[in-house]
Amino acid sequence: MNAPFQNEATGPTKTAEAKVPLTVLIAAPRGFCAGVDRAIEIVERALGRFGAPVYVRHEIVHNRFVVESLKAKGAVFVEELDQVPEGVPVVFSAHGVPKSVPAEAERREMTYLDATCPLVSKVHRQAERHLEANRHIIFIGHRGHPEAVGTYGQVPEGSMTVIETVEEVESLDFPAEAPLAFLTQTTLSVDDTAQVVAALRAKYPHIVGPKAEDICYATSNRQAAVKEIAGKCELVLVIGSPNSSNSVRLVEVAERCGAKARLIQRASEIDASWLDGVSTLGLTAGASAPEPLVLEVIERLGELREVAVNEVVTAQEQIVFKLPRQLID
């Protein structure tokens, strides 16, 4: 949950030159979600318990600042388990992994910790239940994204079909009465996914789906917060990585609300010319972007304009996920 925004650098910077006022609307909720908090804490606790190095398969979350911070503490990031030496612990990323990964870790008798977000794990369990019920699974998600790879790695090859758009629904050619189910990636656009689900249900009325789409609370809340501020802004800045699905979706949401939007990783990327003609700017952060980066952006804006900050709160988040048993004292 985001704490109430407090920042000393919201007033004019002390320079002789007068600056044009800029109102900054900061979305809340923003930044870290419970799954990201948990994943980072798993790596940090593993370092405390086992000592450095602790290996991490893939980026623990999609944020360079977070990854570099953990590297400085002794985490080593690799792409596959064959890059992990014998006798050291390994952590699986928050995005989830195919079943083959923990199976290989157990074959090698490795100490491993699974930092998969519990909401992603919930989708994995749903996939297993649909498989047991002999349903073919249609997975709505981004091909190649680590979460999608981890999800379709829960079932045998050929048991799941991945689609991204309404147009791809139209091209599906399953028999009318084929036993089908659908699942979704947790970080998708709420609006886009609703359209794909509606198309699926129209084409296959008997298709079985979750009681609510699998898009996680944090993704939904951050998109709703951006919708609240974007219509009042000429420009929205989204702090996040280009490979962060939920961050890219926030940019799309802002643009659909009529604002220009830019995805940035650090404050140093902000060009002063972006603020030309901008009187109100929106600011948010993807679910894997930490709050210090928000403060950094506010400070940078304060160097360019006389900044007044208003936080716009649309929801309160109080969810906390339990840590793996191996790390609980």
Beta sheet of 54-57, edge-to-edge order: 75-78, 54-57, 90-92, 112-114
Q: How many residues does this entry show for the chain?
A: 329
- Integer Cα distance of 123 and 210 in angstroms: 9
Number of other residues whose CB lies within 10 A of the CB of residue 89: 20
Side-chain-side CA neighbours of residue 273 (13 Å): 0
The torsion of the CA quartet 100, 102, 107, 109, rounded to 10 degrees, works out to 170
Partner residues linked to 239 by β-bridges? 264, 285
Which sequence positions are flagged as catalytic?
147
Partner residues linked to 76 by β-bridges? 55
Phi, psi (5° rounding) for residue 206?
-85, 0
Measured between alpha carbons, how far is residue 294 from residues 31, 63, 209, 314 in Å?
9, 13, 37, 18
- Phi-psi category of 277—alpha, beta or left, where left has phi over 0 and alpha has psi -120 to 50? left
Structure tokens belonging to residue 226: 């951006």
Give the list of residues 6+ apart from residue 158 with CB closer than 8 angstroms, or none: none
- Integer Cα distance of 216 and 154 in angstroms: 19
Measured between alpha carbons, how far is residue 301 from residues 2, 20, 51, 242, 292 in Å?
21, 11, 40, 22, 14
